[in-house]
Amino acid sequence: MLPAAGEPAAGDSWGMLACLCTVLWHLPAVPALNRTGDPGPGPSIQKTYDLTRYLEHQLRSLAGTYLNYLGPPFNEPDFNPPRLGAETLPRATVDLEVWRSLNDRLRLTQNYEAYSHLLCYLRGLNRQAATAELRRSLAHFCTSLQGLLGSIAGVMAALGYPLPQPLPGTEPTWTPGPAHSDFLQKMDDFWLLKELQTWLWRSAKDFNRLKKKMQPPAAAVTLHLEAHGF
């Protein structure tokens, strides 16, 4: 990319000149300097990534409060119950090979669908909460999660992917039926928070990967500029 940049010895004025010429030749390719062009999906991916990290942080605080509200053993750090009755929750865990084999569109679609479901369950959680403070925290988190959904939709639109359409009749509903005992309900709540946490972690990875993939090669030029002390 920069044939003259790596070779010139110190004091070699011809080398320096060649390097300068090369840099000038490549300057129009630097997106930061190319003000007239479309910024592309990069900024929106970055924003989505940032929002994911923020939600991770927010969830840590919310989960602590909510699990205390459920009481022991749900708030115990090593509590790892079997996944009873929480099958309807979208699973974030996936085999690494499978995950690698997914393309960007599939990944984004899975993220979008998962958060759509999780948001619905979370709103049900909010309706059931007994304390006003907890309801406020949950409502705030729901708003943030809604923002993340919008952000993912924005990234998908920027990349030209269509939004997944929910199949009729598969809308997730929050119906704590009479057969569902309160203990199992608490287990579901626990798993909801746990899946949310795993999904956010996975999304952060997905968006970081996507961000790197979409990143233009501007950093290399900058590095050379610094290396030659311009």
Partner 1 sequence: MALFAVFQTTFLLALLSLRTYESEVLSEPLPLTPESLKVSVNSTCQCLHLQWTVHSLAYHQELKMVFQIQISRFKTSNVIWVENYSTTVKRNQVLHWSWESELPLECAAHFIRMRSMVDDARIPKPGFWSNWSSWEEADAQNMLGHDPLFVFPKDKLVEEGSNVTICYVSRIHQDNISCYLEGVQIYGEQLDRSVSAFELKNVSFIREKGTNVFCKVDQGGVLGGIVLFVSKVLEEPKDFSCETQDLKTLTCTWDPGSDTGLTKQPSQSYTLFESFSGKKTLCKHRNWCDWQVAQDSQETFNFTLLAENYLRKRSVSILFNLTQRVHPMTPYNLLPKNVGATKATMTWKVHSIGNNSTLLCQLELLAEGKVIQQSNVSIKVNGEYLLSELEPDTEYVARVRCAYTNHFWKWSELISQKFNTAEAAPSEAPDVWRNLKLVSGHPTPLSKVHANGKILFYNVIVENLDKPSRFEVLSIPAPASSTELTLDQCSYQIHVTAHNSVGPSPASVIVVSGDPGNEEVEKGRVNGTEDGFSVSWKPQSGDATGYVVEWCDGPQDLPCVLQWKNLGPNTTSTVIRSGAFRPGVRYNFRIYGISTRRMAHLLEKKAGYLEELAPSDNPQVVMSKLTSRSFTLSWKDYSTESQPGFIQGYHVYLKPKAGEQCHPAFEKTVLPEDSVCCKYTIDNPEQKTFVVENLQPESVYEFIVTPYTSVGEGPLDAFTKVTTLDEYSHTLIHIILPMIFCILIVMIICYLKSQWLKEKCYPDSPNPYKSSVLSLIKSKENPHLTIMYVNDCVPDAIEVINKPEGSKIQFLGTRKSPTETEFTKPAYLYLLPTEKNYSGPGPCICFENFTYNQAASDFASCGHFPVTPQAPRHQLGPLTSPENLLKALEQNYMNSLGEIPAGEANLNYVSQLASPTSGDKDSLPTNPPEPALCSEYKMQTAIPLGLASAPPSENSSLSSTTLLGQGEHCR
- Indicate whether 133 belongs to the interface with partner 1 (CB under 8 A): no
82 belongs to the binding site for partner 1 (CB under 8 A)? yes
- We find the least distance from the C-beta atom of residue 71 to partner 1, in angstroms, to be 5
Task: Find where tokens 């750090």 sit.
Answer: 77
Among 39, 71, 166, 217, binds partner 1 (CB under 8 A): 71
Contacts 24+ apart (CB under 8 A), 121-128: 121/89, 121/172, 121/174, 121/192, 122/192, 122/196, 123/174, 124/174, 124/176, 125/66, 125/174, 125/189, 125/192, 127/174, 128/176
74 scored as a contact of partner 1 (CB under 8 A): yes
Residue of 61, 131, 143, 222 interacting with partner 1 (CB under 8 A):
131
Distances 6 to 69, 129, 224 between C-alpha atoms, Å:
61, 63, 8
Tokens of 224: 């050379």
When binding is defined by CB under 8 A, the residue of 16, 30, 70, 218 that contacts partner 1 is: 70
* Of 69 and 161, CB closest to partner 1: 69
Footprint of partner 1 on residues 182-211 (CB under 8 A)? 182-183, 186
Contact region with partner 1 (CB under 8 A), list: 44-52, 87-95, 127-135, 197-205: 127-135
Strands (E), the chain: none
Q: Does 64 bind partner 1 (CB under 8 A)?
A: no
From candidates 3, 28, 37, 72, binder to partner 1 by CB under 8 A: 72
Q: Which tokens hold the place of 204?
A: 């952060």
Element (H, E) at 30: none
Residue 92 contacts residue 195 (beta carbons within 8 Å): yes
Interface with partner 1 (CB under 8 A), residue from 61, 88, 143, 181? 181
**Site residue total, partner 1 (CB under 8 A):** 17
> Which residues here bind partner 1, judged by CB under 8 A?
69-74, 76, 81-82, 84, 128, 130-131, 181-183, 186
